[in-house]
């Protein structure tokens, strides 16, 4: 796993605050959590049960009926609602999870740089960026908001929960408005280090396989050559390792979800430790790894962009974790 949080250096006080927030992990204390249920336009006029089955296809109608019977679907006034309630687009409800304890994560968040506009983080794994699924407080966003309170922080982009490395976080909405469009327009130069199963023959190669616009029931994107979104990733061999794996440098020229992992999986070189994109182009049934699992060997290593305050081009790197080598 990643090294412990540094206790010396220019950000020692920030790292001490991170240790306080993460000891114990904020999601380890039982509490009532909820997920928002926002009725989409294509569910207008349906029953709430029908809408839930449409929105969350991997949960059966029978399982939803049990949640209704337990009183766990409520309106914004916390009043239980029934499965036959006819809903309208834009209405909001809540799915209650009483006494929830979240899965453990790696809380060793490292601050690499901060200034008036920007915080540069070396994210450990497994650690989700934002609340979702089984995670509410055991997330990078929650930890940083606690450390930097009362500031309201704005992550400029995302990494998967299982991916380590560089995350850029802005310190105001105005700075986010200057940085986030650079990602959307492909103006941010990104390089990743990734260890794959097998030995690609070429020293350099690329993939232009289009990636599905929507995820499947378990959240995975795949190659969709008929209707997928355009995508390109360039790869360079960095080191051929003795165990038959290979360390690559990956340069994504587009920003599709799971792009590097999907492209390598499609090429026949799946990422070591990936619970989703398996050898033989098979798909696994898991998403976020457990702390004790073998880590995903994908690291956001280098990033170059225009600083939202100085308007100068800047570059940062994040030390790679030992499991890449």
CA 320/CA 299 separation, integer angstroms: 7
Is residue 155 helix, strand or coil? Answer: strand
Catalytic, out of 32, 44, 115, 160: 160
The one-character DSSP state at 217 is T
Buried b (16+ CB within 10 A) or exposed e, 3-18: eebeeeeebeebbebb
- The yes-or-no answer on residue 160 being catalytic is yes
The one-character DSSP state at 294 is P
**Is the Cβ–Cβ distance between 153 and 145 less than 8 Å?**
yes
**Is the Cβ–Cβ distance between 227 and 208 less than 8 Å?**
no
* Structure tokens, 317: 């790197």
**Which residues sit opposite 92 in a β-bridge?**
38
* CA-closest candidate to residue 125, choices 23, 237, 16, 275: 275
Q: Which residues are catalytic?
A: 160
């Amino acid at each position: 796993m990643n090294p412990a949080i540094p206790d010396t250096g220019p950000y020692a006080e920030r790292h001490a605050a991170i240790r306080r927030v993460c000891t114990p992990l904020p999601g380890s204390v039982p509490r009532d959590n909820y997920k928002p249920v926002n009725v989409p336009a294509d569910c207008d006029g349906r029953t709430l049960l029908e809408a839930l089955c449409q929105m969350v296809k991997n949960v059966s109608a029978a399982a939803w009926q049990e949640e209704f019977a337990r009183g766990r679907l409520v309106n914004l006034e916390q009043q239980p609602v029934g499965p036959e309630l006819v809903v309208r687009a834009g209405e909001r409800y809540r799915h209650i999870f009483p006494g929830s304890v979240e899965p453990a994560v790696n809380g060793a968040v490292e601050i690499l740089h901060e200034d008036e506009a920007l915080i540069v983080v070396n994210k450990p794994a497994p650690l989700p960026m934002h609340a979702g699924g089984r995670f509410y407080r055991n997330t990078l966003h929650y930890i940083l908001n606690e450390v930097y309170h009362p500031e309201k922080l704005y992550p400029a982009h995302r990494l998967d929960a299982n991916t380590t490395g560089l995350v850029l976080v802005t310190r105001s909405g105005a700075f986010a408005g200057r940085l986030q469009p650079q990602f959307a327009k492909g103006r941010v130069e990104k390089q990743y280090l990734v260890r794959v199963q097998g030995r690609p023959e070429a020293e350099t190669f690329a993939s232009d396989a289009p990636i599905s616009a929507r995820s499947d029931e378990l959240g995975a994107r795949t190659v969709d050559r008929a209707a997928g979104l355009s995508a390109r990733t360039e790869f360079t061999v960095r080191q051929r390792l003795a165990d038959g794996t290979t360390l690559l440098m990956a340069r994504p020229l587009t920003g599709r979800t799971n792009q590097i992992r999907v492209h390598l999986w499609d090429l026949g070189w799946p990422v070591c430790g990936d619970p989703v994109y398996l050898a033989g182009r098979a798909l696994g049934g898991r998403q976020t790894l457990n702390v004790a699992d073998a880590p995903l060997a994908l690291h956001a290593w280098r990033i170059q962009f225009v600083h939202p305050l100085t308007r100068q081009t800047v570059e940062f790197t994040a030390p790679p974790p030992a499991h890449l080598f």
